[in-house]
Structure 1
Amino acid sequence: MSSDPWGRVDEDGTVYVRTAEGERVVGSWQAGSPDEALSYFRRKYDGLVVEIDLLERRVRTTDLAPKDAETAVGHLREQVVDAHAVGDLDALVKRLDALTEQVAVRREERKQARVRAHDEARVGKESIVAEAEELAESQSWRQAGERLRELVDAWKALPRLDRRTDDELWHRFSHARSAFSKRRKAHFASLDAQREQARVTKEKLIAEAEALQESSDWGPTAQRYRDLMAEWKAAGRAQRDAEDDLWARFRAAQDVFFAARSGVFAERDAALKDNQTAKEALADEAEALLPISDVKAARAAFLALGERWEDLGHVPRDARPRLEGRLAAVDRAIRDAEEAEWRRTNPEARARATGLAGQLQDAVEKLEGEIAKARAAGNEAKAGKLEKDLAGRRMLLEQAQKSAQEFGG
């Protein structure tokens, strides 16, 4: 009989393995020595060890699914329990028990990971839906449309939730996108209608502008063209492909009229150039009246000069404001001199100024007397108060005397 720590072969060739529960038969050996029999069955044990080593490595280093790992552990456990092998089978069972615990831990980790992923996906999808519902009210059509497309891609990248939650969130997301699309479609339909109306309006404006382009009624026609331009701006823009063509036609009609008007005015201005030269000389003559020493002589000279000015007639339009401004400045200077002379020689005004100065002089002398009496009586408080009143009256007196002097008083 031959044996080792984990098994033995008896005299009739029966092979036993030792376990915690006692010995059990694992086979029979008749073809060789007992040592050969034990070696054969130890090799079978070694094969089980290799398989368990491989499974432990897979569980430890790969993403083997817990369900597949449990199936593999169960399969190996059956092999170990019923193994026709000699070795420490109890140790193999313990290793399988430890693997079972590891797989259970892995299963729980995966469960928690799925819960976290579900929660993160739910939060992500709720965030997407909230943003989409906000964008549904936006009028930034291009930016909002692009962002909604990005949100669709973001939704697809997230894992599915439970069916009910996922369907509810998708329904809200889809509704927001549809609401935005409807609003955008309605907006652009309205815009197209407005642009079509603008096109019709501008066609009418062009027709009128073209009808006026040969007019020689320069003032009213120029004003009507300005009105047409205001109506053009108020009409808004037509379709992009039509707007440039419409504007070119409208502008061309105006150009015909204003080019003709400019030509006529240029000829007229050339004919009026001599008038401008003559009025320049009259303006110089008028300005020579300044400064004014004799008001009546200056006014008489200015009136005579004005008659000559009117006799000369029109000057070129661009020179008219400057020339008339020079003459008006001389007229204002003469008027100011006349006003000053009237104030100086007005008897009523002179009398009022002289009388007021006299009244104020009397008031000042009276206050001075009262102040002297108060000080003589030792009443400095009253004297101080009267001094303040005296200062105000003296100031008024000074102004009244100055005014009286202007009237020669």
Structure 2
Amino acid sequence: MSSDPWGRVDETGTVYVRTADGEQVVGSWQAGSPEEALAYFERKYEGLVVEIGLLEKRVKTTDLSAKDAQAAIDHIREQVDAHHVVGDLDALRVRLDKLVELVEARREERKAQRAKQSDEARHAKEALVTEAEELSQSDQWRAAGERLRALVDTWKGLPRLDRKSDDELWHRFSHARSAFSKRRKQHFAQLDAQREEARKTKERLVSEAEALSNSTDWGVTAARYRELMAEWKAAGRAQREHEDDLWNRFRGAQDVFFAARSSVFAERDAEQSENLKLKEELAEEAEKLLPVTDLKAARAAFRNVNERWEAIGHVPRDARPKVEGRMHAVERAIQEAEEAEWRRTNPEARARAEGLTGQLQAAVDKLRGQVEQARAQGNNAKADKLQRELDGRQALLDQALKGLQEFGG
């Protein structure tokens, strides 16, 4: 018979293990000595210890599922309960019980973690839905479209929720994307229609511009080109593949016309510059007639200068007022000399002037007396009124006297 603290072998070869509940039969050993029997079953016990140690490590350090961990615990517990080993079986049961508690704690942790992840995923998907619904009303077609595609990728990377919640949120998300796509499609369809209309309008404008390119009706045609340009801008853009070609044709037609006009105007400008020099010389010749001392000679000389002036063509527009003003000044001086001469030699006009002067002088004298009388009577209001009338008549009298002096009287 042989024994150790946890087991023994009796005379028949039966092996026992000691437990808190008393001895339990491990098995029968007939192949060798009792010591070898105990050593064999103790090694089997050490195997269970190692197996439990490995399972503890897996539960603590890996993502072993609670289900698989519990199955492994149950498998070891069956071996412990079978009493086919020699060792401290109660200690193994204690370790297995603690391992069950650990697995349960890990299960709760994972459950809480899954709940947290699910809650985070729900908030994340709700945020994606909210942003997608806002983007569905955007007119920033390129930026909003790219952002919606990025939101889809983000959605795919999030964990699924419960089926009902996930389906509801996905329905809203998908609806927002569809609404945006529908609006964008309508927008570009409308834009295509507008661009097609613009193309037709610009085709018409190009045809007219090309038809006008050889016109020599410079003013009318230039004005019409300005109108065509305004119509071109108002028409909007045509499709990209047509716009540049249409513009090149439109601009090319204008360039042909304006190049021809510029050439003609350059020749005209040269001619008008020469005309200006000639007219400036005539204006200088006319100015030498002033002051007028011999009216008849001055009139004849000016008529000669004016005839040569009229024979000369146009001058540059910006120089015209100055040079014509010089001629008009000479012409006015001669006219004023003629009028002065006429007044000096016209007896009827002199008589009328003298008569008018006499009448005004009598009226002034009469009013002056009435003013003095009103002042003497203390009627200042009447006196002021009469004084204003007197001032008006006096001004007329002064003007008439000045005119009379022109007659030499």
What whole-Å deviation, never above 9, does each CA across 1:316-355 have from its counterpart, x for those lacking one? 5xx42255368769999xx9xxxxxxxxxxxxxxx9xxxx
What whole-Å deviation, never above 9, does each CA across 1:101-159 have from its counterpart, x for those lacking one? 11011000000010011011111111111111111011111111111110010000001
Q: What is the identity percentage for the equivalent residue pairs of Structure 1 and Structure 2?
A: 67
Q: For the structure 1 residues 218 and 79, does the alpha-carbon distance in structure 2 shift closer, same or farther, using more than 3 Å as the test?
A: same
1:40 is matched with 40
Q: Normalising to structure 1: TM-score of the pair? A: 0.73
Partners of 2:169 and 2:327 lie apart in 1 by: 85
Partners of 2:51 and 2:326 lie apart in 1 by: 118
1:321 is matched with 318
Figure out how many residues of one structure are paired with residues of the other and give that number.
329
1:273 and 2:270 are equivalent in the alignment: no
1:81 is matched with 81
2:310 is matched with 311
| 1:83 to partner: Cα distance | 2.9
| 1:28 to partner: Cα distance | 1.2
Partners of 1:246 and 1:7 lie apart in 2 by: 107
| 1:284 to partner: Cα distance | 8.1
1:225 and 2:225 are equivalent in the alignment: yes
1:63 and 2:63 are equivalent in the alignment: yes
Q: Normalising to structure 2: TM-score of the pair? A: 0.73
Letter in 2 for 1:324: P
Alignment of 1:101-120 (within 5 A): 101-120=101-120
Task: Structure 2: give runs of 5+ residues left out of the alignment.
Answer: 289-297, 333-363, 365-397, 399-409
Q: For the structure 1 residues 49 and 276, does the alpha-carbon distance in structure 2 shift closer, same or farther, using more than 3 Å as the test?
A: same
What whole-Å deviation, never above 9, does each CA across 1:248-267 have from its counterpart, x for those lacking one? 11112212222222222222
| 1:239 to partner: Cα distance | 0.5
1:154 and 2:154 are equivalent in the alignment: yes
Q: SS at 1:222's partner residue?
A: helix
1:91 and 2:91 are equivalent in the alignment: yes
Contact 1:13 1:34 in 2 (8 A): yes
Letter in 2 for 1:65: S
Computing the radius of gyration from Cα coordinates, the structure with the larger value is 2
What whole-Å deviation, never above 9, does each CA across 1:151-186 have from its counterpart, x for those lacking one? 010000001000000000000111011111111111
Task: Structure 1: give runs of 5+ residues left out of the alignment.
Answer: 289-299, 336-350, 352-406
2:183 is matched with 183
Q: For the structure 1 residues 52 and 252, does the alpha-carbon distance in structure 2 shift closer, same or farther, using more than 3 Å as the test?
A: same
Contact 1:279 1:323 in 2 (8 A): no
Q: For the structure 1 residues 39 and 330, does the alpha-carbon distance in structure 2 shift closer, same or farther, using more than 3 Å as the test?
A: farther
Contact 1:41 1:84 in 2 (8 A): yes
| 1:283 to partner: Cα distance | 7.8
Alignment of 1:6-405 (within 5 A): 6-280=6-280, 311=310, 313-315=312-314, 319-322=316-319, 324=321
Contact 1:286 1:327 in 2 (8 A): no
For the aligned residue pairs, the C-alpha RMSD in angstroms reads: 3.5
Letter in 1 for 2:173: F
Partners of 1:18 and 1:197 lie apart in 2 by: 102
Q: For the structure 1 residues 311 and 71, does the alpha-carbon distance in structure 2 shift closer, same or farther, using more than 3 Å as the test?
A: same
Q: SS at 1:272's partner residue?
A: helix
Q: SS at 1:188's partner residue?
A: helix
Q: For the structure 1 residues 279 and 119, does the alpha-carbon distance in structure 2 shift closer, same or farther, using more than 3 Å as the test?
A: farther
Partners of 1:330 and 1:12 lie apart in 2 by: 160
Partners of 1:44 and 1:218 lie apart in 2 by: 118
Q: In terms of mean alpha carbon deviation, does 74-83 or 149-158 score higher?
A: 74-83
What whole-Å deviation, never above 9, does each CA across 1:365-387 have from its counterpart, x for those lacking one? xxxxxxxxxxxxxxxxxxxxxxx
Q: SS at 2:85's partner residue?
A: coil
